[in-house]
Amino acid sequence: MALEKVISVDLIEVVENGTLQVRTKTAIKEDGVEISSQFHRHVVVPGADVSAEDAKVQAIAAAVHTPEVVAAYEAVIAAQEAARLAAEQAAQEVAPTE
């Protein structure tokens, strides 16, 4: 009875904004037959360091994360952050003082 743990990237999805959704499968095999598995998901955003990622993820990121895609993603994030800060400031100005 030999147990083996196999970890593999089994799914990579590219979202419209260039974000990569990566699913990693961890399978436990007994004598070559899978007896258990679980999944973990993580996201790789445009411009992120992918040096520690699986080779397949690195290759897709290199193709998808062009300078234009990274700039567009960063612009959206900056705009969202500015809107969040403006909303917080507006809420503080309206909040009653005690």
Closest of 78, 11, 79, 15 to residue 46, by C-alpha: 15
Closest of 31, 26, 21, 22 to residue 8, by C-alpha: 26
Are 21 and 13 a contacting pair, CB within 8 Å? yes
Higher pLDDT: 92 or 42? It is 42
Confidence of residue 3 (pLDDT cuts 50, 70, 90): very high
Total-model pTM = 0.81
**Amino acid type, 27:** A
How far the first Cα of the chain sits from its last, in Å, is: 70
How do residues 28-84 score in pLDDT, each as one tens digit?
Answer: 999 999 999 999 999 999 999 999 999 999 999 999 999 999 999 999 999 999 999
**Amino acid type, 72:** A
**CA 2/CA 21 separation, integer angstroms:** 33
